[in-house]
Amino acid sequence: MVNSVFFTMSSMSYRILQLLLLFISSVYAASDVDWWESATLYQIYPRSFMDSDGDGVGDLNGITSRLPFLKEIGVTATWLSPIFESPMADMGYDVTNFTKIEPLFGTMEDFDAMVAKAHELGLKIILDFVPNHSSDECEWFQKSIRREDGYDDFYTWGDAKIDPQTGERMPPSNWRSLFEGQGWTWNEQRQQYYFHHFLAKQPDFNLRNPMVRQHLIEVMKFWLDRGVDAFRIDAVPHFFEKRFENGTYPDEEVSGMTNDTTSFLYYTHKYTMNQPENAEILYEWREFLDEYQQQHGGDTRATVGEAYAPIGVLSDYISNGTDVGLQLTMNFNFIQLRDTTTAKDVERLANDWMDVMWTKHKQANWVVGNHDNSRPATRIGEQRADMMTIIAHAMPGTSVTYYGDEIGMTDYDAECTWASCDFRDPERTPMQWDSTTNAGFSKGNSTWLPVNSNYKSLNVQRQRGVARSTLYIYKAMTALKKSVAFKSFKEEGGFAYEALTEQVFQIIRTAPNVEEYRVLANFGGQMEYLDGLTNKTMEYVVLNSYSPHRYGDKVDLSKRIYLMPYEAVVLRWVA
Ligand code: GLC
Ligand code: MG
């Protein structure tokens, strides 16, 4: 009976069955992919995303009200820049209380409601964890100044040196701050200097102190208990500084990279950055987070590190072969892209990452923009912004999008009085939701940073449902990321990428015998011709505005094809 059914099955339905089995097996294989391995991450800069109470500053209730938008555009997890109590000297990266919500952003109830709503929608919430420093207004720092029990050695303190010539007080070493020249600031009350990698209002913790580490673990636990899914870890390369047994600090050597003695690059930072202990503390946190998951169940509580560091250093953050640390460390290679970028540059930058991080750890992610860098539409060029959206999502692994880049927002260099101006303001202007007052970001009279003057033509509402708009392309790509072919990236032959010419970049994503996608992107301002790419006939499924083709058009890739200047497309083949 069974046999006869089998034998009477037409070759057609047998093929369908075969496909089904393959589909099931690839779905099975794809489910080996943990959520953070192939996610669509979206960074929210809370001050600028959505203001619910009209004070001109974005807030948690604002974010909650816009979570359905994140769902709509296919985001899987959102990372919020710091929302903790802060005097905002570095816009929240200067924390006074790590377990309190900054009143400007709302209350703990607002936070809980946001997490609940996100989870209801199937979105994960990633918080920013800032373990390198606190605000100088933090209670811990105040206690440390007073040398209170347990807090004496909580920060990076050092004795003054005396200038033998002048007899004047000098900092313990020549260390620099990334933000303001001198890295040491004198504290009159304690009669010592403290070190800060960033602003003087951001004293560096002494992470060698077990009590500091204990406090930081408790901070993580506090947020995990409130349902947070993962952490973005701030400023990893800066965690530890070299300190001698006797409490002194070695001078940095001159790098020879620049003659400008005031530049951060003037010294090597051999003693202040990328110390081996940085990786060790990440391994400790991983152990804690894994244990937490074992005890509480649920999905992997992942960490994604922020580190602008050499690839070998980044590799150790993931694992040194024995210990494991971060799940992801942000790949900032595409931050280097400029308007002169060619396909060959993209290939080289992709290889720089993949040769180490993929080969060793099967880990990839692609950051195109963030709150510390010029927006892609400005930096790489408006012609190439959609192309980069396509590429960042079509490469294997996780894509990372900065709010507003999904509609191609540009930097906005509004006039500002320089006392109140941060060099990073241009990429932090309010989200452009619609054409109404303040771009729909706030009902207030003014906003903390001015809304970009282009908001009436460039906003979510204008692009929604418009084929070939930046938003439409973004949505198409996040949807493709969920396809079998895109999920099969860890399998042999699951992906390939290369610069076919100086200007044409190609990515192939394959679920063997099921489907295949091919991205072709022309970075140049000239027409490009390509011959005999494959014997397949494929269909256009994503097109940017430079493409003369239509959705659903077919193209025979065994023949010569052409790409218009800046044309970027995704082609699909189905078995
Ligand atoms: C990270 C943040 C940056 C901040 C710095 C200090 O680099 O991305 O915005 O200023 O850390 O916390
Ligand atoms: Mg507000």
| CB contact at 8 A, 156 and 204 | yes
Q: Which ligand is nearest to the CA of 373?
A: 1
* Domains with residue ranges and CATH for the chain: 139-195 (3.90.400.10), 491-574 (2.60.40.1180)
Sequence-distant (6+) residues with CB within 8 A of 544 are: 386, 387, 390, 468, 473, 566, 567, 568, 569
Within a 10 A sphere around the Cβ of 332, how many other Cβ atoms? 22
What is the model's pLDDT at position 45?
98
Instruction: Return the residue whose CA atom lies nearest to atom 7 of ligand 1.
Output: 235
Q: Quick check: 187 and 200 in contact, CB under 8 A?
A: no
- How distant, in Å, are the alpha carbons of 295, 326, 475 from that of 287? 12, 10, 36
Q: Is 503 exposed, middle or buried (0-12, 13-18, 19+ CB in 10 A)?
A: buried
Out of 229, 234, 241, 427, the active site residue is: 234
Ligand nearest to the CA of 103: 2
Looking at residue 31, what is its pLDDT? 55
Please tell me the distance from the alpha carbon of residue 561 to that of residue 537, in angstroms, as a whole number.
12
Going by CA atoms, what residue is nearest to atom 8 of ligand 1? 372
Look at residue 391 in the predicted model and tell me its pLDDT.
Answer: 98
Hey, what amino acid is at 325? G
Pocket test for ligand 1, best of 43, 48, 88, 198 (most atoms within 8 A of CB): 198
Distance CA 173, CA 177 (A): 12
**What integer pLDDT is reported at residue 62 of this predicted model?**
98
CA of 444 to the centre of ligand 2 (A): 9
Q: Which of 217, 496, 499 is nearest to 347 (CA)?
A: 499
Q: Which ligand is nearest to the CA of 47?
A: 2
Q: Return per-residue pLDDT of the chain as tens, 575 residues.
A: 333 333 334 444 444 544 444 444 444 444 589 999 999 999 999 999 999 999 999 999 999 999 999 999 999 999 999 999 999 999 999 999 999 999 999 999 999 999 999 999 999 999 999 999 999 999 999 999 999 999 999 999 999 999 999 999 999 999 999 998 899 999 999 999 999 999 999 999 999 999 999 999 999 999 999 999 999 999 999 999 999 999 999 999 999 999 998 889 999 999 999 999 999 999 999 999 999 999 999 999 999 999 999 999 999 999 999 999 999 999 999 999 999 999 999 999 999 999 999 999 999 999 999 999 999 999 999 999 999 999 999 999 999 999 999 999 999 987 665 556 788 999 999 999 999 999 999 999 999 999 999 999 999 999 998 999 999 999 999 999 999 999 999 999 999 999 999 999 999 999 999 999 999 999 999 999 999 999 999 999 999 999 999 999 999 999 999 999 999 999 999 98
Whether 251 is catalytic: no
CB atoms < 10 A from the CB of 292, how many?
Answer: 17
User: What is the pTM assigned to this prediction?
Assistant: 0.93
Provide the b/e sequence for 137-169 (b: ≥16 CB within 10 Å): bbebbeebbeeeeebbebbbbbeeeeeeeeeee
**pLDDT for the residue 500:** 98
> What pLDDT is recorded for position 422?
87
> How far is it, in rounded angstroms, from Cα 368 to Cα 381?
12
Q: What is the pLDDT of residue 563?
A: 98
Q: Which residues in 196-299 belong to E strands, given as ranges?
A: 230-233
Contact assessment for residue 519 and residue 507, using Cβ atoms and an 8 Å cutoff: yes
Ligand 1, pocket-test mutation among 372, 374, 422, 425, most atoms within 8 A of CB: 372
Q: Say how far apart CA 540 and CA 316 lie, in whole Å.
A: 41
